[in-house]
Amino acid sequence: LRLADVAISRGASSLLQNIAWSVQTNERWGIVGPNGAGKSTLLGAITGTVRMDRGAALVGPKVRVGHLRQSAVSGSVRTLAEEARSEMVEIEHARERLHLTTLVVEGGDYSDQALAELGEAQEQFEKAGGYEQEQMVDSVLKGLGFEPQDSHRLCSDFSGGWQMRIALARLLLSKPSLLLLDEPSNHLDSSARDWLGKYIAKYDGSVVLVSHDVELLDASVNSIAEISGNTLLEYRGCSYSKYLDEKEFRAQSAEAEYKRNLEEAARLQSFIDKFGASATKAASAQSRVKMLEKMKREGKLDPPPVAVVSRGPQPELVLPPPPKPNGENLLALTNASIGHDPDQEPLLTNIDLTITRGMKLLLRGPNGAGKSTLLKALRGNLPHMLMQGTRTENDRLRLGVFTQDLAQELDTNARAVDLVTAYAREGADGNVAVTDEAARSVMGRLNLGGEKPLRKVGALSGGEKARVALSMFALKASNLLMLDEPSNHLDVGCIDALARALSGWGGKDGAVVVISHD
């Protein structure tokens, strides 16, 4: 893959400029950068789904590209096993050739040519992995967290997070020569993330991975490309951890060189000012004028590029102090059984759980164990999920909820700032006036500044939508915060800001319940 002088804009704003980059055989690149920088857009340019203003994305003639989007779903009515192997084209082509050559020989043609073609077809089928196809399918499905009995279930029976896994399994098993992955770990639990990191690290082909998952990046890629300040900076041969060190080294080196150049320019200018009019020093002064002009021409007096030296404004999240509740208990489930469907067996039974002031509770467990269902039962917004038992809440309970899908559920036709202010007012005590200015201030601290709050949500990137959702969450005064996989779709800076905010929030009055694999 080679990108040549690529430029892409979003509306009137320049998103990417002068991108020149190449991916060699068996290189595994991690693409990093803040939300909205253009990482997913870059993948779209490679696949041809995003229009470039200038430049070209050149892919080798025999290179097969596979692309997993952030919102990928299987879109199939086949069984899981059928869907997983549906794009294993090399094996299917080899199988078809083997079938045809076998029919020729079984039809009585034992000529040297027929037998040679049969032998070649058998060798091609073996090389493609045809004899191990079922083992490969089972291995990938198991690695992504599916149970053996799931193989015969229809894809349409699986929930959204599992749909992403089906699409990922299908793509991995198709074995494209260039694998493009956009946030593949967003719906994976810890064991599936670990498996995916090892799989990518051993992948027989080239990989471009967009991710904010530091552990996945460190486990899988051998080069980093950072998109920042409308450009792409290469850190070829660097793991993610090494990239962080190299980025800091480059920034310090660029700043030190710039400082030295300014000092040298000042020294030259001082000599020119002092001796420029001197008859005996005129030649020396003129020589220094030329040296100074050369430094200017070569850009040595220009500040280093922002993308090189900028550590960027770090996102900041400040949560409102919790309203004081009555008593110690905020919320309780007693002798509870919960599930999705009252006509089916419950997912969890005999639950006795009390959330008290000051508690910070982590819910852990594999995908499908019932964590999100438990959180929904605690929220009380879907009464049918509480199949047995009672839910009791404090009469001054104020819930703040942040879920992994909140950003995807936003009204795409609404202005971002309007959604933030409306959500902050919802369920608030008294006549709480949340102004556009207050909302934009919170959004700005999350690096959603400028005109972005005034844009319609549909015009924002996936990561920017997640920041809108986080801004909604940050403006609403609550004494019980519930978070379901909050780090999905957020970049590293926002995840750190959220962690810091939760760590210092609540005191004796607030409580936190969080589901996270981070």
* Same-domain pairing of 483 and 400: yes
* Count of beta carbons in the 10 Å neighbourhood of residue 55: 18
Terminal CA-CA length for the chain: 32
The reported pTM is: 0.74
- Tell me: do 337 and 301 sit in the same domain: no
Q: How much of the chain, in percent, has pLDDT values that exceed 70?
A: 96
Examine the domain organization and report whether 381 and 271 are in the same domain. Answer: no
Distance CA 72, CA 168 (A): 8
Q: CA 449, CA 47: separation in Å to the nearest integer?
A: 30
How far, in whole angstroms, is CA 454 from its chain's centroid? 24
**What is the Cα–Cα distance from 496 to 512, expressed in whole angstroms?**
17
DSSP reduced 3-state for 167: helix
Render pLDDT for 215-234 as a digit per residue (tens, 0 to 9).
Answer: 999 999 999 999 988 899 99
Residue the block writes with tokens 């409102």: 320
Domain containing 285 equals: 252-309
- Give the burial class of 110: count Cβ atoms within 10 A of its Cβ; 0-12 exposed, 13-18 middle, 19 or more buried: exposed
Tens of pLDDT along 130-148?
A: 888 889 999 999 999 999 9
- What is the helix (H) or strand (E) element at residue 388, kind and residue range? strand 386-393
Chain segment 285-331, per-residue pLDDT in tens: 889 899 999 989 888 888 877 666 555 668 899 899 999 999 999 99
Asked if 395 and 502 sit in the same domain, the reply is yes
Does position 150 have pLDDT exceeding 90, yes or no? yes
Structural domain includes residue 376? yes
What DSSP character marks residue 187? T
Contact between 316 and 495 under an 8 Å Cβ cutoff? The reply is no
Q: Calculate the alpha carbon distances from 19 to 55, 56, 226, 229, 436 in Å.
A: 8, 10, 11, 12, 36
363 and 490 belong to one structural domain: yes
Say whether both 305 and 333 belong to one domain.
no
- 63 burial (CB, 10 Å; 0-12 / 13-18 / 19+) is middle
- For residue 496, give Cα distances in angstroms to 241, 358, 441: 16, 21, 19
Would you say residue 451 lies in a domain? yes
Q: How does strand 28-32 pair with strand 13-22?
A: unpaired
Residue 350 contacts residue 335 (beta carbons within 8 Å): yes
Compute the average pLDDT of residues 83-105: 87
Q: State the Rg of the chain over Cα.
A: 29
Number of independent structural domains in the chain: 2
Q: How far apart are CA 409 and CA 416, in angstroms?
A: 13
CATH assignment of the domain containing 484: 3.40.50.300
